[in-house]
Amino acid sequence: MEIGQNIKIAVDAIVFGYEGNKLNVLLVKQKFGIMKNQWALVGGFVKDDETLHAAVNRELKEEAGIKVSYLEQLYTFGDDVKRDPRFRVISVAYFALVNSTRLFLTADSDAEEAQWFPIKELPPLAYDHKDILQVAHKRLQSKLRYQPIGFDLLPIEFLFSDLENLYCTILEKEIDRRNFRKKMLSFGIIEETDNFSPRKSGRPAKLFRFKKEEYNKLSEEGFLFEISFA
């Protein structure tokens, strides 16, 4: 039986950052083609000789000049056969959490600009990238409810209130801060340092840091992390 198929495979990266109590997403402005000057997620076509993971890492480097330590496969988008007006394209989307303050963006390849945008202040997006971003945002919110992720969004040392505010920002709800602090400390995945916040206003507060090895150990063993809301 002859199969008529002419499908292209692409990858897209939803990279979340956090700064100033705002959840941000990395976007690039298209340099060429029918979507020229429109903002889009980082992404592009997979080469014949590379894996999906290699392709998305290459696109991040080429279009935004960054490298991320961890990418999680999100979803495959292709139910809409006209999602790309040029031809039939199926996209495998990945998402990542990064400390955006430590990354220097440099647009290259087919990207005119690379920029962080607050997730609530997005420009119109090319293709179906708005839908892709919404799926990624919901996945992030869902994971945060049962797994204490998000430390990659913070500096190496942070105030506990910064961690609380991060959760409130992403979940878009006020959490029970007393219960949250008690539960987070009970897992032993963060520890208090001997350093104080450089902020001059108010009483000096101790800084905390994430204990990645302890977190990985608990993740392998399995543990329940439920968030209570105010």
**pLDDT, tens digit, 9 for 90 and up, residues 107-136:** 987 889 999 999 999 999 999 999 999 999
Q: Are 54 and 137 in a shared domain?
A: yes
Mean pLDDT of the chain: 91
Q: State which of 122, 145, 168 marks the end of a domain.
A: 145
Q: Are 162 and 76 in a shared domain?
A: no
Of 137, 181, 187, residue with least CA distance to 159: 181
Average confidence (pLDDT) over 16-44:
94
Q: Are 29 and 132 in a shared domain?
A: yes
pLDDT of amino acid 207: 95
Whether residue 156 is predicted with pLDDT greater than 80 in this model: the reply is yes
Q: Measured between alpha carbons, how far is 9 from 122 in angstroms, rounded to an integer?
A: 26
Q: Are 133 and 170 in a shared domain?
A: no
pLDDT of amino acid 201: 67
Q: Are 40 and 79 in a shared domain?
A: yes
The domain tally of the chain equals 2
Radius of gyration, alpha carbons of the chain: 20
Whether residue 229 is predicted with pLDDT greater than 90 in this model: the reply is no
188: domain CATH number is 1.10.10.10
pLDDT band at 225 (very low <50, low <70, confident <90, very high): confident
pLDDT band at 1 (very low <50, low <70, confident <90, very high): low
pLDDT of amino acid 110: 80
Q: Are 91 and 140 in a shared domain?
A: yes
For the whole model, what pTM was predicted?
0.92
Domain containing 183 equals: 154-221
Q: Are 47 and 72 in a shared domain?
A: yes
Query: From the candidates 72, 112, 113, 214, which is the catalytic residue?
Result: 113
Average confidence (pLDDT) over 176-205:
87
User: Per mean pLDDT, which range of 14-23, 184-193, 215-224 is the poorest?
Assistant: 215-224
Question: 44 lies in a domain?
Answer: yes
Verify whether residue 113 is a known catalytic residue.
yes
Whether residue 137 is predicted with pLDDT greater than 70 in this model: the reply is yes
Q: State which of 112, 145, 178 marks the end of a domain.
A: 145
DSSP structure string for 67-134: --S--EEEEEE-SSTTSSSSS-EEEEEEEEE--GGG------TTEEEEEEEETTSPPPBSTTHHHHHH
128: domain CATH number is 3.90.79.10
Backbone dihedral region for residue 127 (phi beyond 0: left; psi -120 to 50: alpha; all else: beta) = left
Question: 230 lies in a domain?
Answer: no
pLDDT of amino acid 200: 63
